């Protein structure tokens, strides 16, 4: 079925963004309102299309819209087409819905910023690019959105680029994303070369005839792309620094939407991964490693936003793990993605609210006892907290349990390892989130005298409250009658799905997970409630803590493995350039100059010498002709 | 009479002219030597015309004379001008056009 409305999803925020950027200061007074309105209209269009889809029978729900013929060279054709199917609509509603709430929040949060209009222009640009990413019907269209969200992310991380460290953080995110983007472009090129198409439908049709090696290559390249965009191991180092951006940006881009693009990419490419077991195995390994990595990093972060960022990395690790488990896992990965979109965005907004009330303080050790001063923030953040650690009946319980259960049932040693990693991750999650919660809201007050904590205005707490409702109810709604699984089935698991032998019954997994959560919470309580908390990070800590505080040496590793050899290579190339290439150029010049100055001496200015030379030259030519013709 | 003798004479005259241009300093003498070379060439042309039995060489000889006449006018004017400004008719004194 076709629909002419899909393009408006993208066009409205894109137009608003262009208008806000082009009109400049003239729109300072109403720019934020236009930006919010654009995002809300986009959500309205999305909701309308959703109702249209609901009215159709399952197999006819996917809507398409051809915009124009983008590239047409000989037999190689790419259309700029949009595809709104069961998978895209989930993202469309998440992006525009959470996006609109965060726009509303930002009106108040950024009200003292001189550049608020520009901020909203970038947010709209992000919404448009992200929608293009999830609505493209081919990898090329997706790539356009992929680069667009990278740009918006760069602009927003570096929004306060008057601080050099923030500008550096933006650059770091951009450069690390480029590594991933390289993977995506290589995947597209391999697909073109081997199958002659880049559209999802075309590759899906061609995949069964392609060799496993080709599909594995495409899969690994797609995984690289997903790792770059979703801050997965080994390209995870940029996410922590990305917290330099304003908090609404962290909530929208670096928690709810953009960083989940990698999960979307893998789920969308299910026909490739299902046919390439090696690539799929790498996906689960990356997911499992990252979920533990992020959780471990999160345990030692004193910066509230960076703790949440580490948690985001870890939760996306869960999603990647789920997506790597094949047809049974995709729907759970998307479910966790959606519930995570609610509770993590809500918690980031809560963190923003805390910072708003505490003079932009981010150090957990300088908070404490904020429960009494910010009751609404406490409650909304608390609901998000219960959701993320997976306490029933909050959202995270349903989605995370499903992934842990699927991991256990993956079969053999692999299943036990992955399941244990996911379970251990759940305990760590409970620990570091309880730590954030305890240090921020309970205990003694540890803030400086000039801080005057106060509750945020309604424009800020209302989005938090709505997201908190989502954190409470979404998991239940998605799982009721397997609603989301059935909804996504035509996209991610067409045909029969193989039933795995259950290693552990669902109830056992849930009990295990809850036990782990309880252990995590208990340790946090023992460490941070029973013992006084210093308002500066203690120095006499174990070597392990020191390493964890430095993000498990991720920056040091990147420096040692990539930066130093890269710089050495660059320096070598500079020397080669100066000595060999510049040397050759300068040598040619020197030869010309030297021979010129020597030849110049023959120009005596005496007519007679010129005449003699002409005579000799003419005689030589005549002699030469005579010799040759003889 | 053998036509080759004219060519020998022509070559002799040309050589005298060329040597004169190279070794004499006086601009007027150099100039006359140039004329001598031109006329040596004319003699060759006329001789070839006779050997080949057509008039081409003679026509070219007329062209040479016309060009020589023009060249005399311009050349003498230059020599007189240089003499006026430098009080010298030596070609070696007019050596500013170097380096």
Of B21, B95, B99, the CB nearest to A606: B95
Q: With beta carbons less than 8 A apart as the criterion, state whether A275 and A218 touch.
A: no
- Asked if the C-beta of B25 comes within 8 angstroms of chain A's C-beta atoms, the answer is yes
Residue of B nearest to A618 (CA): B18
Per-residue pLDDT, A319: 92
Q: Please state, as a whole number, how many other Cβ atoms lie within 10 Å of the Cβ of residue A610.
A: 15
What CA–CA distance (Å, rounded) separates B42 from B48? Answer: 10
What CA–CA distance (Å, rounded) separates A126 from A131? Answer: 8
Q: With beta carbons less than 8 A apart as the criterion, state whether A453 and A368 touch.
A: no
Q: Which of A600, A602, A605 to mutate to test the interface with B (most CBs of B within 10 A)?
A: A605
B91: chain A residues, CB-CB within 8 Å: 606-608
What CA–CA distance (Å, rounded) separates A561 from A320? Answer: 25
What CA–CA distance (Å, rounded) separates A366 from A302? Answer: 9
- Asked if the C-beta of B94 comes within 8 angstroms of chain A's C-beta atoms, the answer is yes
Handedness of CA A280, A282, A283, A284 (dihedral sign): positive
Of A604, A606, A615, the CB nearest to B18: A615
Report the gap between the CA of A587 and the closest CA in chain B (Å). Answer: 24
B97: chain A residues, CB-CB within 8 Å: 605
Per-residue pLDDT, A494: 53
| Inter-chain CB proximity B98 and A612 less than 8 Å | no
Whether B18 shows a pLDDT value over 60: the answer reads: yes
Beta bridge mates, A84: A63
Of A603, A604, A611, the CB nearest to B22: A611
* CA-wise closest residue to A154 among A237, A236, A245, A259: A245
H or E element, residue A78: strand A76-84
Per-residue pLDDT, A134: 92
Q: For B45, what's the count of Cα atoms within 13 Å in the CB-facing half-sphere?
A: 17
| Inter-chain CB proximity B21 and A611 less than 8 Å | yes
Backbone angles phi, psi at A359, to 5 degrees: 55, 45
Per-residue pLDDT, A496: 47
What CA–CA distance (Å, rounded) separates A401 from A408? Answer: 11
* CA-wise closest residue to A327 among A269, A369, A370: A269
| Inter-chain CB proximity A607 and B30 less than 8 Å | yes
B96: chain A residues, CB-CB within 8 Å: 605
Give ∠ CA A468-A470-A471 in degrees, rounded to 5: 65
* CA-wise closest residue to A294 among A314, A267, A280: A314
* CA-wise closest residue to A302 among A361, A385, A382: A361
Handedness of CA A243, A249, A252, A253 (dihedral sign): negative
Euclidean distance between the first and final Cα of chain A, in Å?
Answer: 89
Per-residue pLDDT, B99: 52
Q: Please state, as a whole number, how many other Cβ atoms lie within 10 Å of the Cβ of residue A335.
A: 27
Q: Which residue has the tokens 């007679």?
A: A608
| Inter-chain CB proximity B25 and A605 less than 8 Å | no
pLDDT (tens digit per residue) in B41-70: 999 999 999 999 899 999 999 999 999 999
Q: How far is CA A158 from CA A123, A246, A353, A563, B22, in A?
A: 13, 9, 21, 22, 80
Phi-psi map region of A5: left, alpha, beta (phi>0 left; psi -120 to 50 alpha): alpha
Q: With beta carbons less than 8 A apart as the criterion, state whether A343 and A384 touch.
A: yes
- Asked if the C-beta of B87 comes within 8 angstroms of chain A's C-beta atoms, the answer is no
* CA-wise closest residue to A390 among A315, A324, A328: A315
Q: Please state, as a whole number, how many other Cβ atoms lie within 10 Å of the Cβ of residue A66.
A: 12
| Inter-chain CB proximity A608 and B96 less than 8 Å | no
What CA–CA distance (Å, rounded) separates A223 from A324? Answer: 10
* CA-wise closest residue to A243 among A256, A230, A258, A254: A254
Q: With beta carbons less than 8 A apart as the criterion, state whether B55 and B40 touch.
A: no
Give ∠ CA A212-A215-A220 in degrees, rounded to 5: 120
* CA-wise closest residue to A178 among A220, A237, A228: A228
Q: Please state, as a whole number, how many other Cβ atoms lie within 10 Å of the Cβ of residue A444.
A: 9
Q: Which of A599, A600, A607, A616 to mutate to test the interface with B (most CBs of B within 10 A)?
A: A607
Report the gap between the CA of A594 and the closest CA in chain B (Å). Answer: 14
3-class secondary structure for A464-511? HHHHHHHHHHHHHHHHHHHHHHHHHHHHHCCCCCCCCCCCCCHHHHHH
DSSP state of A226: H
B21: chain A residues, CB-CB within 8 Å: 608, 611, 615
Please tell me the total number of residues recorded for chain B in this structure: 99
A611: chain B residues, CB-CB within 8 Å: 21-22
- Asked if the C-beta of B22 comes within 8 angstroms of chain A's C-beta atoms, the answer is yes
Report the gap between the CA of A573 and the closest CA in chain B (Å). Answer: 42
DSSP state of A199: B
Q: Which residue has the tokens 């002709």?
A: A625
Which residues make Cβ contacts (< 8 Å) with residue A96, sequence separation at least 6?
A9, A39, A40, A42, A43, A46, A127, A131
Q: Which two tokens stand for residue A609?
A: 């010498």
Q: Please state, as a whole number, how many other Cβ atoms lie within 10 Å of the Cβ of residue A471.
A: 30
| Inter-chain CB proximity B92 and A606 less than 8 Å | yes
Q: Which two tokens stand for residue A563?
A: 């930066």
Phi-psi map region of A126: left, alpha, beta (phi>0 left; psi -120 to 50 alpha): alpha
Euclidean distance between the first and final Cα of chain B, in Å?
Answer: 52
Residue of A nearest to B23 (CA): A608
Q: Please, what are the averages of pLDDT over each run of 10 residues along chain A (630 residues)?
A: 84 93 87 92 92 84 84 80 89 92 91 88 93 91 92 91 89 90 92 87 87 91 92 87 88 89 91 89 92 89 89 92 86 90 91 87 83 88 90 86 86 85 90 90 81 84 90 85 80 59 76 89 86 77 80 81 90 92 93 91 82 91 93
Q: With beta carbons less than 8 A apart as the criterion, state whether A262 and A323 touch.
A: no
DSSP letters for B9-42 = HHHHHHHHHHHHHHH--BHHHHHHHHHHHHHHHH
- Asked if the C-beta of B11 comes within 8 angstroms of chain A's C-beta atoms, the answer is no
* pTM > 0.95: no
Of A603, A604, A612, the CB nearest to B22: A612
| Inter-chain CB proximity A607 and B22 less than 8 Å | no
B22: chain A residues, CB-CB within 8 Å: 608, 611-612, 615
Residue of A nearest to B97 (CA): A605
Q: Which two tokens stand for residue A568?
A: 């050495």
Per-residue pLDDT, A548: 79
Per-residue pLDDT, A492: 78
């Amino acid at each position: 079925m076709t629909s002419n409305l899909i393009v408006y999803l993208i066009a409205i925020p894109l137009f608003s963004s262009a208008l806000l950027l082009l009109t400049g200061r003239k729109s300072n007074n109403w720019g934020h309102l236009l930006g919010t309105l654009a995002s809300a209209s986009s959500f309205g269009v999305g909701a309308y299309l959703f109702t249209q889809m609901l009215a159709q029978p399952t197999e006819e729900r996917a809507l398409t819209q051809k915009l124009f013929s983008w590239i047409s060279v000989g037999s190689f054709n790419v259309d700029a087409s949009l595809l709104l199917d069961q998978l895209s609509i989930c993202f469309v509603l998440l992006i525009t819905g959470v996006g609109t709430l965060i726009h509303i929040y930002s009106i108040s949060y950024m009200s003292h910023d001189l550049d608020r209009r520009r901020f909203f222009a970038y947010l709209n640009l992000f919404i448009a690019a992200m929608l293009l990413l999830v609505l493209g019907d081919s990898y090329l269209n997706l790539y356009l959105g992929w680069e667009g969200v990278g740009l918006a992310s760069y602009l927003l991380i570096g929004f306060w680029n008057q601080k050099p460290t923030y500008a550096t953080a933006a650059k770091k995110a951009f450069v690390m994303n480029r590594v991933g983007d390289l993977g995506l472009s290589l995947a597209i090129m391999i697909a073109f070369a081997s199958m002659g198409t880049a559209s999802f439908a075309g590759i899906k049709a061609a995949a069964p005839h392609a060799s496993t090696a080709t599909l594995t290559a495409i899969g690994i390249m797609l995984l690289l792309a997903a790792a770059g965009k979703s801050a997965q191991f080994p390209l995870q180092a940029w996410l922590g620094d990305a917290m330099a951006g304003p908090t609404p940006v962290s909530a929208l881009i670096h928690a709810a939407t953009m960083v989940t693009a990698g999960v979307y990419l893998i789920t969308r490419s299910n026909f490739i991964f299902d046919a390439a077991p090696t690539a799929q195995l790498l996906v689960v390994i990356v997911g499992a490693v990252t979920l533990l990595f992020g959780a471990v990093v999160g345990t030692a972060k004193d910066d509230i936003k960076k703790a949440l960022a580490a948690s985001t990395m870890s939760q996306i690790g869960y999603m990647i793990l789920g997506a790597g488990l094949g047809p049974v896992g995709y729907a759970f990965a998307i479910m966790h993605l959606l519930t995570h979109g609610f509770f993590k965005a809500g918690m980031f907004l809560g963190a923003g609210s805390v910072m708003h009330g505490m003079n932009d303080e981010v150090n957990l050790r300088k908070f404490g006892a904020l429960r009494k001063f910010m009751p609404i923030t406490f409650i909304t953040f608390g609901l998000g907290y219960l959701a993320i650690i997976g306490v029933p009946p909050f959202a995270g319980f349903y989605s995370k349990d499903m992934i842990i259960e699927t991991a256990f049932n993956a079969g053999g040693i692999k299943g036990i390892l992955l399941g244990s990693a996911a379970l251990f991750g759940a305990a760590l999650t409970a620990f570091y989130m309880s730590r954030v919660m305890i240090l921020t809201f309970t205990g003694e007050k540890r803030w400086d005298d000039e801080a005057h904590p106060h509750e945020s205005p309604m424009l800020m707490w209302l989005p938090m409250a709505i997201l908190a409702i989502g954190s409470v109810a979404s998991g239940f709604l998605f799982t009721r009658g397997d609603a989301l699984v059935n909804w996504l089935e035509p996209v991610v698991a067409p045909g029969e799905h193989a039933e795995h032998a259950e290693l552990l019954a669902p109830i056992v997994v849930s009990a295990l997970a809850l036990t782990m959560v309880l252990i995590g919470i208990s340790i946090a309580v023992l460490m941070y409630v029973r013992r006084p908390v210093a308002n500066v990070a203690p120095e006499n800590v174990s070597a392990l803590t020191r390493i964890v505080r430095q993000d498990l040496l991720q920056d040091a590793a990147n420096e040692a493995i990539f930066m130093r050899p890269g710089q050495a290579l660059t320096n070598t190339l500079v020397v080669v350039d100066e000595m060999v290439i510049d040397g050759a150029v300068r040598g040619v010049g020197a030869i010309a100059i030297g021979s010129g100055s020597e030849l110049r001496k023959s120009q005596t200015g005496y007519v007679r010498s010129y005449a003699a030379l002409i005579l000799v030259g003419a005689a030589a030519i005549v002699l030469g002709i005579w010799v040759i013709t003889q | 009479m053998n036509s080759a003798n004219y060519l020998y004479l022509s070559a002799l005259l040309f050589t005298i002219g060329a040597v004169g241009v190279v070794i004499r300093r006086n601009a007027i003498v150099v100039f006359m030597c140039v004329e001598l070379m031109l006329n040596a060439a004319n003699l060759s042309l006329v001789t070839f015309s006779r050997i080949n039995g057509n008039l081409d060489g003679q026509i070219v000889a007329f062209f040479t004379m016309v060009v020589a006449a023009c060249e005399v006018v311009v050349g003498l004017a230059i020599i007189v001008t240089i003499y006026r400004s430098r009080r010298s008719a030596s070609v070696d004194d007019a050596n500013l056009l170097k380096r």
